[in-house]
A and B are shown apart, each in its own frame.
Chain A
Amino acid sequence: MRIRSLKFALLAAALCLPCFSFAQIAANSAAVSSQIAQLQAEVAQAQSSADNSWMLISAALVLLMTGPGLALFYGGLVRRKNVLSILMQCMAMMCIITVLWALATYSLAFDSGSAFIGGLHHLFLRGVGLAPDPDYSATIPLQTFMIYQLMFAIITPALITGAFAERMKFSAMAVFLALWSIFVYSPMAHMVWGKGGLLNADLGGRFPCLDFAGGTVVHVTSGVSALVCALYLGKRVGYPSEAMPPHSVVLSFIGACLLWFGWFGFNAGSALGSSPLATSAFVNTQFAAAAAALSWAAAEWLRSGKPSALGLISGAVAGLVAITPAAGFVQPMSALVIGVIAGAFCFFMVVKVKSWFGYDDSLDAFGVHGAGGTLGAILTGVFATSAVNPIFKNAKTGAALPSGLIQGNWHQFFNQFIGVAIAWTLSIVGTFILLKLVDLTIGLRVTREHEMEGLDVTQHGEEGYEFGA
């Protein structure tokens, strides 16, 4: 009996409840929906703040890679008489490329234009405001995206200076690299990352090429252009018969460690937000750098009987270069493998291949960045997995499609070669034409006497180390 009456009571309650609820909802619906809208706006605001703070820090980290990171790394490797010329070249890039970026090169790289180069709508940063551009990142102001990308545009030409160190005129360097930034970097960045770019994997390019943080855009272009510079300019006076050991491996060591530190902004920042993908890129960056450093040092230990400080830091940089395109696409174990391969491969390129061909790539910009970048771009096509980054999706169902070769995507593996081939071709042709142009107008090399005296005194009128003072 008691159970039956309880059932009736429940039934009655259930029948009455909707009446109350409807009444309540009718009364509160306007208030509730405005509350939901407010909450949604606050959540979006919170995510935007988190993403924006990480991206601004990342931008600063990437700038740190050029100065003092790269400046010290390269600066330690040259002879004492040329240390300031290296610092000057890096700082000059920080300034010249920044001004160019504001005037034109941001537009050429990231405005929607043709498949090969951006348009002119963003000249003088017109239309680059604080509202996000959802095509690039829906949660950060477009100006954050713009300033972050600028730091990549700065370090890329600065990397090339390693190939012509100790022998190029400052004026020629400034003009050549400014032109290079317009005619080689901007189109390549547009093709891979810009709206409508031929190789853009995010925004449906014709040949989608996986390049998370700039394996092709930064390292292949700078490294291959460096090789062209080394071949065009010829060897330094006295190379290779005269000893040209680094004047301070200590400076290079500090520089390399700053590069490693800054590289977290370079790779993890390329997630364009503080998402789990940023973590993935951060983790991979660390593992690849460490594995490559050990691999280079081991190769050196086997060959010459001793592991060196310069070897360890060179290997770390090689690993960082190789993981750059893969950072947001692969698992940590793949990052370790990429690092091991990159350390040994770049060691081989720098120690063996350079002496076989006899070119004077003074600070191994090609051997580390060109070779490591090419290797990394191709290995990205091997190790990329949709478990980390489902970049390709079925158009109808939205299900993730395989990314790289180990997932059975042969097509992507070949697309990586297309991306690399385009980067090589653009770099070789563009660099050669621009070098010729500058050579015919203002001349590239300093005189033989100035080269022997050193660029610090002859180009800048000062010395790096004044012990008498």
Chain B
Amino acid sequence: MQKIEAIIQPSKLDAVKDALLEVGIEGMTILEARGHGRQKGHTEFYRGREYTVDLLPKVKLEMVVPDELADKAVQAILSSARTGKIGDGKIFLSKIDDAIRIRNDERGSAAL
């Protein structure tokens, strides 16, 4: 099992969700987030005072998938979330030791 955490542009959420459903990902958790990478925000002016807004609104998707689906899921995110411009986001992968379904104690891949 692998955990995929993807930070994407909020405007790409629908496209990414659809692409993931298409490759067979059935569950995900979505968080509204704020952050920045190398792109470092933008400037706003209020009555002539300049403010650098460096934490921009982002969306973070989290999902745990069986090993064989991980590559497909990553590809789906890459192709649907990419605009080619700075600020498109990042994907992080990590190994998951176990998963438990609270409703009926199922464990491992069966719980996903």
Contact = CB atoms under 8 A, between A and B. Distances in A.
Interface of A: 240, 243, 245-246, 300, 303-304, 306, 308, 310-311, 314, 347, 350-352, 355, 364
B48 interface: yes
**8 nearest A-B residue pairs (beta carbon):** A351-B48, A243-B51, A304-B45, A245-B51, A245-B46, A350-B47, A310-B46, A246-B46
Nearest to A364: B47
Contact of B48 (A243, A246, A303): A303
- Please classify how large the interface on chain B is, using the bins under 10, 10 to 19, 20 to 34, 35 or more: under 10
A351 B47 contact: yes
Contacts of A245: 44, 46, 51
Nearest to A352: B48
19 contacts: A240-B49, A243-B52, A245-B44, A245-B51, A300-B45, A303-B48, A304-B45, A304-B48, A306-B45, A308-B45, A308-B46, A310-B46, A310-B47, A311-B47, A350-B47, A351-B47, A351-B48, A355-B48, A355-B49
Nearest to A314: B47
A352 B44 CA distance: 17
A243 B45 CA distance: 11
* Residue in A240, A243, A303, A311 with the greatest tally of chain B CB atoms within 10 Å: A243
Contacts of B48: 300, 303-304, 347, 350-352, 355
A355 B49 CA distance: 9
Interface of B: 44-52
Contacts of A347: 48
Identify whether the interface residues of A are mostly helix, strand, loop, or mixed.
Answer: helix
Nearest to B51: A243
Contacts of B44: 245
Given A245-B51, A300-B45, A308-B46, 9 more contacts: A240-B49, A245-B44, A300-B48, A304-B45, A308-B45, A347-B48, A350-B48, A355-B48, A355-B49
A308 B51 CA distance: 14
A314 B50 CA distance: 17
A245 B42 CA distance: 14
A347 B51 CA distance: 18
B69 to A, nearest CB: 36
A347 B45 CA distance: 13
Query: Which of B44, B48, B51 is the most central at the interface, judged by chain A CB atoms within 10 Å of its CB?
Result: B48
A195 to B, nearest CB: 41
A350 B44 CA distance: 17
Nearest to A304: B45
Contacts of A308: 45-46
B86 to A, nearest CB: 20
A311 B46 CA distance: 8
B55 to A, nearest CB: 11
Contacts of B46: 245-246, 308, 310
